[in-house]
Structure 1
Amino acid sequence: MPSFDLGESIPSDTAHAVSVSLPTWQANVGYEEGQQWVVDKMVTGYPRFFIHKSIQALASDITSRFGQPQQQAMLFPTRKTAQRCHSFIQDKAPKELQANLQIVDLVLSASASVPPVLRSISPSISAVFFVPDAFPIAKQYWQHSGDGVSSRRAEFCHGLLRDGLLVLAEPSQAPRSPGLANAKVFRGPRRYQRPASIDAVNGSNHHPATASQGAEKNGPAGQGSDTETIESSRFLEERFGRNLDLSLVSNAKSAIRRRIAGVLSGDVDLTTKLPTMDSTARGVSNFREDDIYLTPCGMNAIFTAHQTLLKAREPRKSINFGFPYVDTLKILQKFGPGAEFYGRASSDDLDDLEEQLKSGARFLALFCEFPGNPLLACPDLVRIRKLADEYDFAVVVDETIGTFVNVNVLPYADVVVSSLTKIFSGDCNVMGGGLVLNPGSRYYNSLKQVLNETFEEQNYWAEDVMFMERNSRDFKTRIDRVNTNAEAICDTLVAHPNVLNVYYPKFNDSRPNYEACKTPHGGYGGLLSCTLQNKEQAIAFYDALDTAKGPSLGTNFTLTSPYVLLAHYQELDWAASYGVDPSLVRVSVGLEETELLKSVFAKALKATEEATAEAK
């Protein structure tokens, strides 16, 4: 099993890793409390919580060029996304923190040296400038919405900015730093001399659009001979083409959508025509590829679903049904009329909801996970669908943990959302999300209209698309493997006397609800949780477990986390009130050999026996 030092990226030596190593229980506590011995060693973190260093570097450069003294910047892919952050700060921040709040847009230069294929991916950046004390408010928006730029986009655009190929969209957005505003910008093919990998460590220093140190200066951008311009354009196109075939981005998106639809599995040649889309895929009629929308991350899919429903229907409170992933509830609470929270997703909770509905309460939508995280309980979607049809609310189901290979929830939902960052990718090196409309939904036409008017496809960065498509080619076979491994680990845990509870769809009381949506050849997923007899045993178990340890799930390698500690450190008593033990350990099961995994967990369980003996 691989080992990772504190703060190291998971996977190792990966510039755009999605997870970070927190190998001991105390390291997780230190991270949550901001202790320097942990924070100072972190080279990365989960992208919505830890702003990638490449993004920080670009934000600093943009601020120095175009901002005012003492300002900071948060970066977004488009003007619309930046405007949403701007409005959030205006709404949530005190008046004194709204001083000098502004947006600056950077777009690709109109220079003839820029090849058309580069324009097709819209490498734009919009920066929201604010005073430093407003950063916590801006960070809330970044975390909850998932609207922020990806690290790959930041690296790519930073190179363009350095080369004078990323420029202000409007003259009115003039730089406020006269020295930099008057500085010469240089370009030319001889500057692109260093070979690079777009997934190399310290990628911000190795990029096809980044100047080599000491390169010859060819003169200000926009000047020079026609021959030089043609040469520069040709070189740019060849350079970008070698690292990322931009002409295939559209086909890559199509391949991802068809995998989400369940009509494409395995390898595919993106240069050829893709298989025909099955209009009855996912068990619904008239299903089309354009009913699937790709977003920068899973949380952005949830955010987009909520925003779309608010525009398509009369704005009302929503329902968060089941113990939530932390930001889902925050989205419903902070970006609309609010939320009704049912934390257990039980039959009693549904009874209470039905009584509210009978008494006249009306809601925008019910949001739930299938299964839930971290207790893996499954809501009764059959009954929820009946209530939704009778009382006119939409149903939004997050299938990230179940995955469409194991379960099919679309017939019961109006909208299905998923984090492609997880097992769909598996490699833990790229973010992505999916939003699927049910064409049979009574809200389909109104939702489609809003999305046609508001959805910005370019928000999902082209390089991330290409990595996601490549990673997901063996998605289905990986699911089968982790299903088998997860059941084997559960059997090992259940057999040990120090394990108090094992949470897994196969063993939970809500298993009938899972079975109602389980596909004919599906399993029970690759995520499980357990609790030990006491906190001391939980710490001993976690510290002794020889797996990767850090945030996220759905990785091709087994990844363990004291999930409640990480997700709800400031509200552990609240979590406990819904039956979620603060000492719970969550396991995302990988592709390792089954017998190896069983031995690794047996060894960690042995450590709990030793901890018990020492306590006596």
Structure 2
Amino acid sequence: MPDLDLGESIPPHTAHAVSVSLPTWKSNIGYEEGEDWVVGRMTTGYPRFFIHRSIQEFAADIVARVGAKASKAFLFPNRQIAARCVSFVKARAPPAVAASLDTVHLVLDTTQPGAGALASLNPAISAVLGSQDAFSFLKQYWQHTGDGVSSRRAEFCHALLKNGLLRLDDGATGPVSPTSAKPCRGPKRYQRPSSMDTTAKHVSPDREGVAAPDLQETSRFLEERFGRNLDVSFVQPAKSAIKRRIAGALRTDSELSRAAPPDHEMEFNTRGVVNLREEDIYLFPCGMSAIFNSHRALLSTRGNMKSINFGFPYVDTLKILEKFGPGVVFYGYGSESDLDDLEKHLQAGERFLALFCEFPGNPLLTCPNLTRIRQLADRYDFAVVVDETIGTFANVNVLPFADIVVSSLTKIFSGDANVMGGSAILNPNSRYYESLKNWARTAGGLDEDTYWPEDVMFLERNSRDFVSRIDRTNANAEAICDVLRQSPVVKTIFYPKYNETQANYEACKLPNAGYGGLISVVLRRPEQAVAFYDAIQTAKGPSLGTNFTLTSPYVLLAHYQELDWAEGFGVERDLIRISVGLEETEHIVNVFRGALKVAEESTAASQEQ
């Protein structure tokens, strides 16, 4: 999909896309600078950074109905999360800003005809309202934790609010007072919220969009919204199927069944842990939510200790460890010498909550020495949390080395780039397993289950061919690496097969698996990087793990305000990250050859000048 306009959703015409087209180097800088010629054209963006327009409209409607004119609202799936957001802001904001905070809870009005049919969906919303000055603090919580509502939940619940099926949870029995735009009382069929007018008009109603139910037609609405494609009776089987795929125990791509899967199926999994159970795998609205709640779990069960961030991290992982709890010790290289230094501190008596790392890391694709980390953790009593998003559990098995394994299911597990998701696995052989499981069963623990049913159904459907897609991206990535390695304009390639930490990757690599679909490359001159990026005929935007090749000037997007800091850890500002897709190998290789040729010609042109 090379011919996408600036600001168009990726994939195009997809109401819940998780990426957005930034087709030139200049447009990426414009986005980071907040320039209107870029931001004003964006129909969507990566959901934790760009608040989806359907969420924005719902929040504005809530403010208009119950809030002050100058206030902003951030939406969360339950009151516990909203309360955590309020606590976060109050601990950091000036007193006047903290005093502006308020919460509004909307729940299903079961007194309305047909509302009982919606109860199993738990269509609740908790809004945190604050002044304009509170926006940046609220946005921090939203972005770092990933615990905000999904765009599908917002669409659905907003439709219910418009039709009088949600009420304030304040002891009142009636619906929330409507604004001047009162819902029609005549028969209704399908009605799309205006928030989606910019994208949903191109989308088949079978796949995306939202229907708004009339009070008299709730049953019909449910049938038409879910019955043909997203039958709510399949939500629990879908969750089960997703968890078993994550465990490497489900070996079929067949349609869902309402029948419970056999218990013994989990014994035969690719994780090499025969006592792993489906109940040890938790689903979250996105990958950062899995990381954040794993950190919460460890703080609650192990005490208030600093954590270790080992290796150059995805940006919000480090922010979580810095801002939630007593702090973090950062080892940005993730090298053997960093482990030597850590061991000295441990020997001197320092103690830590947990070590968080990625396998491989993003964007340098280096791998920490999990064998040595596990030995240190056992000796000095700290937990190990491994993010396997980039390696993927079809290529590597890190669970034997970890107490908790987290992953963003938004990426290659889904592939279609139209739904968010995350997971956390508790290793049943961990010394912390029982305390974590006990905490998970309590209110506000890992069992909050805030993953919206529609998102569950889309993720299950998308992930059925996950393993076969991994095989294809592995092969395509190696073919692209071969082209990059032969180019005179390429300075450095980052890929697990060629990094100095390859042995660490091999220690966790599954038999007959590959090295993943993510490559980072640095060209020899900045102008070459710009020419290459502008010329490459792939989709260009944030995110990774898509079924199509997606290219991004990753460091500009992730670390624009801290480029010098990133370069201090070997992460160069002109680095280009390539998420390899499922295209025909010969085609995608030629695409890269063409862009490299343009980069070479840009050097010759600049020398002539």
1:429 equivalent to 2:432? Answer no
Counterpart of 2:524 (choices 517, 522, 533) is 533
Q: Deviations over 1:313-366 (max 9, x none)?
A: 111000000001000000000001100000011000000000010011100000
Once residues 538 and 100 of structure 2 are traced to their aligned partners in structure 1, the CA distance between those partners, rounded to angstroms, is: 47
1:192 alignment partner AA: R
Once residues 247 and 18 of structure 2 are traced to their aligned partners in structure 1, the CA distance between those partners, rounded to angstroms, is: 25
| Aligned position for 1:227 | none
Once residues 82 and 254 of structure 1 are traced to their aligned partners in structure 2, the CA distance between those partners, rounded to angstroms, is: 28
Counterpart of 1:439 (choices 413, 428, 439) is 428
Q: CA deviation at 1:238?
A: 2.6
Matches within 5 A, 1:1-16: 1-16=1-16
Once residues 174 and 218 of structure 2 are traced to their aligned partners in structure 1, the CA distance between those partners, rounded to angstroms, is: 27
| Aligned position for 1:53 | 53
1:249 equivalent to 2:230? Answer no
2:356 alignment partner AA: F
| Aligned position for 2:307 | 318
1:305 equivalent to 2:294? Answer yes
| Aligned position for 1:327 | 316
Q: CA deviation at 1:115?
A: 5.0
| Aligned position for 1:225 | none
Q: Across the two proteins, how many residue pairs are aligned to each other?
A: 594
| Aligned position for 1:41 | 41
TM-score (norm 1): 0.93
Matches within 5 A, 1:518-597: 518-597=509-588
1:279 equivalent to 2:267? Answer yes
Q: CA deviation at 1:182?
A: 10
Once residues 565 and 233 of structure 1 are traced to their aligned partners in structure 2, the CA distance between those partners, rounded to angstroms, is: 47
| Aligned position for 1:134 | 134
Q: Deviations over 1:87-126 (max 9, x none)?
A: 1111111111123311110011112523544211111100
| Aligned position for 1:209 | 212
Once residues 185 and 614 of structure 1 are traced to their aligned partners in structure 2, the CA distance between those partners, rounded to angstroms, is: 62
| Aligned position for 2:492 | 501
Does the 8 A contact of 1:162 with 1:210 survive in 2? no
Which deviates further from its counterpart, 427-436 or 239-248?
239-248
TM-score (norm 2): 0.94
| Aligned position for 2:189 | 192
1:104 alignment partner AA: V
Once residues 605 and 558 of structure 1 are traced to their aligned partners in structure 2, the CA distance between those partners, rounded to angstroms, is: 16
Q: CA deviation at 1:170?
A: 1.6
**Secondary structure in structure 2 of the residue aligned to 1:278:** helix
| Aligned position for 1:82 | 82
Which deviates further from its counterpart, 272-281 or 358-367?
272-281
Identity %: 61
Once residues 613 and 267 of structure 1 are traced to their aligned partners in structure 2, the CA distance between those partners, rounded to angstroms, is: 51
Does the C-alpha gap of structure 1 residues 383 and 26 become closer, same or farther in structure 2, counting only changes over 3 Å?
same
2:425 alignment partner AA: V
Q: CA deviation at 1:147?
A: 0.5
2:564 alignment partner AA: D
Does the 8 A contact of 1:108 with 1:119 survive in 2? yes
Counterpart of 2:358 (choices 365, 369, 383) is 369
Does the C-alpha gap of structure 1 residues 599 and 347 become closer, same or farther in structure 2, counting only changes over 3 Å?
same
Does the 8 A contact of 2:15 with 2:209 survive in 1? no
Once residues 193 and 520 of structure 1 are traced to their aligned partners in structure 2, the CA distance between those partners, rounded to angstroms, is: 50
Does the 8 A contact of 2:400 with 2:427 survive in 1? yes
Once residues 185 and 447 of structure 2 are traced to their aligned partners in structure 1, the CA distance between those partners, rounded to angstroms, is: 31
Q: CA deviation at 1:451?
A: 1.1
Does the 8 A contact of 2:359 with 2:366 survive in 1? yes
Q: CA deviation at 1:266?
A: 3.9
Does the C-alpha gap of structure 1 residues 100 and 194 become closer, same or farther in structure 2, counting only changes over 3 Å?
closer
Q: CA deviation at 1:457?
A: 4.2
1:57 alignment partner AA: E
| Aligned position for 1:485 | 476
1:369 alignment partner AA: E
Q: Deviations over 1:453-505 (max 9, x none)?
A: 12344411011000000000000000000000000000000011110111000
Does the 8 A contact of 1:115 with 1:236 survive in 2? no
Does the C-alpha gap of structure 1 residues 64 and 457 become closer, same or farther in structure 2, counting only changes over 3 Å?
same
2:226 alignment partner AA: G
Q: Deviations over 1:26-46 (max 9, x none)?
A: 100000001111111101000
Counterpart of 2:596 (choices 579, 586, 605) is 605
| Aligned position for 1:119 | 119
Does the C-alpha gap of structure 1 residues 172 and 485 become closer, same or farther in structure 2, counting only changes over 3 Å?
same
Does the 8 A contact of 1:117 with 1:246 survive in 2? no
Once residues 195 and 555 of structure 1 are traced to their aligned partners in structure 2, the CA distance between those partners, rounded to angstroms, is: 27
Once residues 267 and 487 of structure 2 are traced to their aligned partners in structure 1, the CA distance between those partners, rounded to angstroms, is: 48
Counterpart of 1:351 (choices 332, 340, 343) is 340
Does the 8 A contact of 1:255 with 1:274 survive in 2? no
- Stretches of structure 1 lacking an aligned partner (at least 5 in a row): 212-220, 222-230
Does the 8 A contact of 1:114 with 1:236 survive in 2? no
Once residues 512 and 597 of structure 1 are traced to their aligned partners in structure 2, the CA distance between those partners, rounded to angstroms, is: 29
**Secondary structure in structure 2 of the residue aligned to 1:379:** coil
Once residues 577 and 152 of structure 1 are traced to their aligned partners in structure 2, the CA distance between those partners, rounded to angstroms, is: 40
Once residues 581 and 392 of structure 1 are traced to their aligned partners in structure 2, the CA distance between those partners, rounded to angstroms, is: 35
**Secondary structure in structure 2 of the residue aligned to 1:501:** strand
Once residues 42 and 112 of structure 1 are traced to their aligned partners in structure 2, the CA distance between those partners, rounded to angstroms, is: 38
1:333 alignment partner AA: E
1:580 alignment partner AA: V
| Aligned position for 2:247 | 261
Does the C-alpha gap of structure 1 residues 532 and 23 become closer, same or farther in structure 2, counting only changes over 3 Å?
same
Does the C-alpha gap of structure 1 residues 257 and 126 become closer, same or farther in structure 2, counting only changes over 3 Å?
same
- Stretches of structure 2 lacking an aligned partner (at least 5 in a row): none
Once residues 36 and 112 of structure 2 are traced to their aligned partners in structure 1, the CA distance between those partners, rounded to angstroms, is: 49
RMSD of equivalent CA atoms: 2.2
**Secondary structure in structure 2 of the residue aligned to 1:404:** coil
1:163 alignment partner AA: N
**Secondary structure in structure 2 of the residue aligned to 1:552:** coil
